[in-house]
Structure 1
């Protein structure tokens, strides 16, 4: 969304849009059968919407993009009394990620103001050509190897919790606005040498692990992958999902330093071949007998997205928002006022627990500005799992859920599940092939994909 300078004409808006599309190849690229086709010329039909009492029509994207047919950009020009005052761009994620959208907004604003821009010198085809070079291939291979090790060594589930409220729907969503916490973030960052976002992520992860009583969790974060100079003003899709491991500590400042270091390492390997990673993830799931859960997502959109925040403290957010993960933590703003949002699956948590975790983030950061503190002092009571839940295979496991998956795969009574030490054992009869049983159970567990259901690691023939 870009404001049109006062006095501009519709023709001037059309010229600016044409110049934007002309300078950025990503906005005039079609994808057909694995090939890219870049248009040298064409026509963009912008929708003109007269401003009325409702804003909804201004932002309607006009349906899904077909990358084989549609230009990946659409525009609505909003007018007042026939004069343009706002341009709303809709760009397919195939052509631009969040950082690229920020670049496009700035470039369109400059073009509408009739300011000259340097030529766009780096395009998606240039990036693709680099990735085919020996250096590019080494980078992608190194990233694949790093994530393979992470998947092999780290817990695959961070929210091993029962559905305490199985009939609940949606997420509890709360928002935080805090000037005091923003000032404290600056002080904690200075003490630890960490990025401000790492301070906030560490606070959230510390409160989350205290609630789940799991000493480790994985934060799934987008990396913008714009660390090279040629990518600074690049318009295309570079952002990819990364995993930042977190380990609980009684020292919050230590947690901040660890989180900052883990984030820098994850971002270093943030550019990878998604097909190869999917293959690696599938192999890790089969080897470890459980689904890789993308269950705790952290979105740092500070500087990119503007959200209406509470004046102070925690307030309920928009109840009709849809969240893709059971737990989603958003960092909306870091400067002047700390703005955050937290959504928790309503089957796992109460509204009070959700608000308590987010409020604890504020209290923890503010307290840490005066000196190191134990995050446990700022948490909420641990979530209750009930009987039958045990720690095994580096995560919380629901033994009855595992037994149900085993019965589904092998038939009732064929195997009996037990927790022995940190492992799971399946006891089977003499007439059962342990190897075949193991394969069948793993496939059943991966199909079910439920938190807390993990395939046994060992099979023992029952005597008698």
Structure 2
């Protein structure tokens, strides 16, 4: 293995505050071992006949024009460097493609420029450039931009000046207009968390000894054709139709009236962000309400997504504070239950030729339920992972296969989603509907016993409310706080605090 020394320089350097997008990534990025989303990668073919010097010049020009790639982050500020050097690995094309470009160790945002490169050669001549970029410097949309710009630079095509950078975004976010937008987003999400069920997947651990997730993939050409018809009928965007199909079958299985879909919003609706290299994508919550009409669900999901995307940029620290307030007011954790990843245009997943097949088994999941949309045109490609403690492999496959059947049926007319999934999961005795979600009555009793002592409180359900009966000498205020603290520490699905404390008579 040899090295290629890449020198770069840009027209601006200096120090600015970090953007909310950078702050958002710094909240979850791994400082030691890179997670599956910490480092983003892309590949660009080198034109035939190119020299190694030309590849180095193209890489240097790319880093020079994009400030995000020559920026360090520390102590709440971004430091844009005027110049520097990147040492790219040069790897001869032997073995498998995975051997050519391992992403390497985690980036240190305070010490490492957020870009690495490998040049793959054949018989000593460059034929492929691989970029690895820290998520603090780019999101998926930015990676698409970097891939296109590097291809143009390698081909010798001119590019317009890159006019908007993270420093400019940081300056905007501190203007009165930028502050109003960020504060408006936090108020919107605080209201959503105060009004919507915080536990969207209240399920018992039916298989407590199981580990990992059941993972299945779907490939369907008939569903892709049907999807276009359903989207035209409802006026909904195709991703919203697919999300509605999945959420309909998930809620039918869980017996819940709705759920919350945690989805990324690319936040590139403003003209200046269209070609912006930086990280602006942030997670939003799309509320879903089950309906016996799938076409209505698709339209409502599309409208809910558009509403959520209006507030897709926010300060993650302020939002975390608002979430904590909502949790204490509602007496339960804000569970990040159902994650939807729309990676159309970025996915390299090998889909089944038709129908549902088990996934490869090397996927890591962070939520109990994760639904992936890989492809929409020509073939509908989706993936589903369900926590193995909650579901069987057959249930997982049945829900994902139901997505295909539901969309195909809806192309011919409206249908009730309840007829396309799997039978509702059994919760067993002790699970009741209360406080807008499924509640494990025994789990709440155990939390109360842990907080107050065995037998101090007796938990029951009255209508839709959880009631705690306590002794006549019990300090109700202190008891309520102690139980709340125990519930929030445990953070288990289905365990919430009582809404009322009743003293024992006598």
**What is the TM-score normalised by the length of structure 2?**
0.91
Say whether 1:91 aligns with 2:133: yes
- Residue 32 of structure 1 and its aligned partner are, at CA, apart by 1.9
1:249 corresponds to: 291
Say whether 1:48 aligns with 2:90: yes
Which moved further from structure 2: 196-205 or 297-306?
297-306
Q: Is the 8 A contact 1:77 1:87 kept in 2?
A: yes
Find the partner of 1:112 among 148, 154, 159: 154
Find the partner of 2:180 among 118, 138, 161: 138
2:442 corresponds to: 400
Q: How far apart, CA to CA, are the structure 2 residues paired with 1:35 and 1:250?
A: 50
Q: How far apart, CA to CA, are the structure 1 residues paired with 2:347 and 2:241?
A: 20
1:274 corresponds to: 316
Q: Is the 8 A contact 1:49 1:57 kept in 2?
A: no
Say whether 1:193 aligns with 2:212: no
SS in 1 for 2:248: helix
2:24 corresponds to: none
1:377 corresponds to: 419
2:200 corresponds to: 158
1:259 corresponds to: 301
1:7 corresponds to: 49
Q: Map Cα deviations across residues 258-302 of structure 1 (whole Å, 9 max, x no partner).
A: 000000000011111111110000000000010001110001111
SS in 2 for 1:156: coil
1:34 corresponds to: 76
Q: Is the 8 A contact 1:61 1:90 kept in 2?
A: yes
Q: How far apart, CA to CA, are the structure 2 residues paired with 1:5 and 1:66?
A: 33
- Residue 3 of structure 1 and its aligned partner are, at CA, apart by 1.3
- Residue 49 of structure 1 and its aligned partner are, at CA, apart by 1.4
Q: Map Cα deviations across residues 279-326 of structure 1 (whole Å, 9 max, x no partner).
A: 000000000010001110001111122221011110111212110000
1:215 corresponds to: 257
Q: How far apart, CA to CA, are the structure 2 residues paired with 1:21 and 1:406?
A: 57
1:426 corresponds to: 468
Q: How far apart, CA to CA, are the structure 2 residues paired with 1:453 and 1:81?
A: 62
SS in 2 for 1:220: strand
Say whether 1:178 aligns with 2:220: yes
Q: How far apart, CA to CA, are the structure 2 residues paired with 1:157 and 1:59?
A: 40
Q: How far apart, CA to CA, are the structure 1 residues paired with 2:362 and 2:343?
A: 20
CA RMSD of aligned residues (A): 0.8
Q: How far apart, CA to CA, are the structure 2 residues paired with 1:28 and 1:171?
A: 38
Q: How far apart, CA to CA, are the structure 2 residues paired with 1:187 and 1:90?
A: 39
Q: Map Cα deviations across residues 145-187 of structure 1 (whole Å, 9 max, x no partner).
A: 1111100000011110000111111100000001110011100
- Residue 55 of structure 1 and its aligned partner are, at CA, apart by 2.8
Q: Map Cα deviations across residues 354-374 of structure 1 (whole Å, 9 max, x no partner).
A: 000000000000000000011
2:454 corresponds to: 412
Q: How far apart, CA to CA, are the structure 1 residues paired with 2:437 and 2:200?
A: 8
- The runs of at least 4 consecutive aligned structure 1 residues that moved more than 4 Å come to none
1:295 corresponds to: 337
Q: Map Cα deviations across residues 29-70 of structure 1 (whole Å, 9 max, x no partner).
A: 001211211110100010111111233332212201111110
Q: Is the 8 A contact 1:176 1:315 kept in 2?
A: yes
Q: Map Cα deviations across residues 113-142 of structure 1 (whole Å, 9 max, x no partner).
A: 111110100000111111111111111111
- Residue 411 of structure 1 and its aligned partner are, at CA, apart by 1.3
2:409 corresponds to: 367
Q: How far apart, CA to CA, are the structure 1 residues paired with 2:478 and 2:269?
A: 48
SS in 1 for 2:83: coil
Q: How far apart, CA to CA, are the structure 2 residues paired with 1:426 and 1:8?
A: 75
**What is the TM-score normalised by the length of structure 1?**
0.99
SS in 2 for 1:380: coil
Q: Map Cα deviations across residues 199-237 of structure 1 (whole Å, 9 max, x no partner).
A: 100000000000000011000000000000110000111
Say whether 1:389 aligns with 2:431: yes
1:16 corresponds to: 58
Say whether 1:440 aligns with 2:464: no
SS in 2 for 1:101: helix
Q: How far apart, CA to CA, are the structure 1 residues paired with 2:462 and 2:49?
A: 76
Q: How far apart, CA to CA, are the structure 1 residues paired with 2:355 and 2:99?
A: 33
Q: How far apart, CA to CA, are the structure 2 residues paired with 1:289 and 1:119?
A: 52
Q: How far apart, CA to CA, are the structure 1 residues paired with 2:453 and 2:51?
A: 73
- Residue 440 of structure 1 and its aligned partner are, at CA, apart by 1.0
Q: How far apart, CA to CA, are the structure 2 residues paired with 1:145 and 1:33?
A: 26
